[in-house]
Amino acid sequence: MKTQRRNFIQKAGIIAASTAFLPNALWSATRRKKEKLGVALVGLGYYSTDLLASALQLTQHCALKGIVTGSPEKIPVWQQKYGIADKNVYDYKNFDSIANNPDIDVVYVVLPPSMHAEYTIRAAKAGKHVWCEKPMAPSVAACQSMIKACDSNKVKLAIGYRCQHDPNIQAYMKVGRERPFGKILMVNSAAGYFDGRTDHWKQSKALGGGAMGDMGVYALQGARLATGEEPISVLAQSYTTRPKVYDEVEETMMFQLEFPSGARAACQTSFGIPMNYLKISYEKGWLQMEPQSAYSGNKGVMSDGALIDYPIENQQAKQMDEDAVAILNNKDLLVPGQEGLRDIRVVEAIYKSAEKNCAINV
């Protein structure tokens, strides 16, 4: 396992010194406005291969134009399937030269979390807008460096929280804002699945693995979005039932949150327990979502009988289209880097609480 991880990191160019590069500022300043953005996927694992690439075929305002991979054997497959030109194919060493490619407007970073900051910063320096998968990065410091790089290079940074683009999630957020059932008292939020893999980056601490960062942000966002508040304290406990697999990171994390209004939340996430639900208890009623953060089929019901069930063709396509429109029109993104940072600030407190076995202020 350790040899495979070392080879992966070497292939991605983390150990090698990064290539110093200055973007073509003149080209960036004079390029004409496009009607459709060209997207390059960085990392061709499951999420890119099975979900993002196909979703890009459904978008109206962006298109799959490039790939960045350390696996040469994948290149002909992608080129044949999606018609990607030779000049739009990159590896991790020549990635910075993407700055000179007018076909590519957006770089979508779909790599293990430990690599998000490096490739977001390199993309920003190349003058490209960045979409970065969640979790944004393993630390607050890394998140801040990503935001700073994008701001300094005048490019936009969106975090891949597809759920916030889902009208079903937006519906319970609206209930939280309008409070038809009065004050929020308690939120129960859970997101997890059984992962049978035994040698994956999600089990590696060095690559940013662990249930909390991956699935835990969905449970955390369920509570944050339901209340519309940021937690002020956390109390957490982690455990592992498969120590031979999860010897570096947690398999399951349970955490309690306290919000400024007095609302509380009990949240769970796991790579060993299938669960996906949200229950919000108000003074005069309740709202329940199940599932709450699936790729499709998120739906809910309220205590007055009202249903939350808005069909959506493809979450990822809607996410990328809406982010593309914001970039094309120079508008605010729905889920900017600051939103990813807010989650990681809480995630850091959760890990600290689990380690010290006490409540931690956020």
> How far is residue 63's CA from residue 40's CA, in Å, rounded to a whole number?
9
Q: Please list, residue by residue across 309-322, b when 16 or more beta carbons sit within 10 angstroms of its beta carbon and e when fewer do.
A: eeebebbbbbbbbb
Q: How many structural domains are present in the chain?
A: 2
Q: What is the pTM of this model?
A: 0.90
Domain of 109, CATH number, reads 3.40.50.720
pLDDT, one tens digit for every residue, the chain (362 residues): 444 444 444 445 443 333 334 444 444 444 456 789 999 999 999 999 999 999 999 999 999 999 999 999 999 999 999 999 999 999 999 999 999 999 999 999 999 999 999 999 999 999 999 999 999 999 999 999 999 999 999 999 999 999 999 999 999 999 999 999 999 999 999 999 999 999 999 999 999 999 999 999 999 999 999 999 999 999 999 999 999 999 999 999 999 999 999 999 999 999 999 999 999 999 999 999 999 999 999 999 999 999 999 999 999 999 999 999 999 999 999 999 999 999 999 999 999 999 999 999 99
Q: Which has the closest alpha carbon to 40: 28, 23, 56? A: 56
Q: Clarify whether residues 94 and 218 are in a common domain.
A: no
151 lies in a domain? Answer: yes
Q: Of these residues, 65, 125, 134, 318, which one is catalytic?
A: 134
Q: Which has the closest alpha carbon to 229: 205, 202, 264, 203? A: 264
Determine the structural domain holding residue 243 and report its residue range: 163-313+337-361
Q: Of these residues, 108, 218, 277, 351, which one is catalytic?
A: 218
Q: Enter the tokens of residue 79.
A: 């080129």
Q: Clarify whether residues 148 and 293 are in a common domain.
A: no
329 lies in a domain? Answer: no
R_g of the chain computed on alpha carbons: 20
Catalytic, 119? Answer no
3-state secondary structure 19-74: CCCCCCHHHHHHCCCCCCEEEEEECCCHHHHHHHHHHHCCCCCEEEEEEECCCHHH
Final residue before a domain boundary, out of 161, 191, 211: 161
Q: Clarify whether residues 114 and 213 are in a common domain.
A: no
Catalytic, 81? Answer no
Q: Clarify whether residues 206 and 342 are in a common domain.
A: yes
82 Cβ neighbours under 8 A, 6+ residues apart: 53, 64
Q: Clarify whether residues 62 and 171 are in a common domain.
A: no
